[in-house]
């Protein structure tokens, strides 16, 4: 018999954390509305689905580094996402957290 994997607790993002994210990527660089987040619940592998708590769209490597440092400081999980075309589910968040969408990068 196979034991079920333990549930991963969802992260709880504080208002302070979200404000710090907005300060890094700007208001137009952050999604937190549940309906908008559903677009990011899967990649090309549509069987596995996990909704992130927030998606950020950094425009520079400096912004990516600042977001990663902020997540680390607050112990918030994060996952990078490119175009979302993978068929492996590798860009899916585990337990919520921050998805770093790299589509604005030049």
pLDDT of residue 40: 77
Task: Supply the pLDDT for residue 42.
Answer: 66
What topology does CATH give the domain 38-106? 3.30.43
Q: Which pLDDT score, from 0 to 100, does residue 57 have?
A: 96
pLDDT for res 98: 92
- Is 94 a residue whose pLDDT tops 80? no
pLDDT digit string, tens, across residues 27-86 = 999 988 888 888 877 666 667 777 889 999 999 999 999 999 999 999 898 888 866 655
Q: Using H for helix, E for strand and C for coil, what is the string for the chain?
A: CCCCCCCCCCCCCCHHHHHHHHHHHCHHHEECCHHHHHHHCCCCCCCCCCCCCEEECCCCHHHHHHHHHHHHHHCCCEEEECCCCCCCCCCCCCCCCEEEECCCCC
pTM for the structure as a whole? 0.81
Residue 6 has pLDDT above 70, yes or no: no
């Amino acid at each position: 018999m196979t034991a079920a994997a333990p549930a991963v607790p969802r992260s709880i993002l504080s208002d302070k954390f979200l404000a710090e994210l907005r300060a890094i990527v700007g208001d137009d660089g952050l999604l937190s509305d549940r309906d908008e987040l559903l677009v990011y619940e899967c990649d090309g592998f549509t069987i596995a689905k996990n909704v992130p708590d927030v998606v950020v769209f950094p425009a520079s490597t400096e912004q990516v580094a600042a977001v990663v440092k902020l997540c680390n400081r607050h112990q918030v999980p994060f996952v990078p996402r490119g175009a979302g075309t993978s068929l492996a589910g590798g860009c899916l968040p585990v337990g919520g957290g921050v998805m770093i969408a790299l589509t604005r990068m030049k």
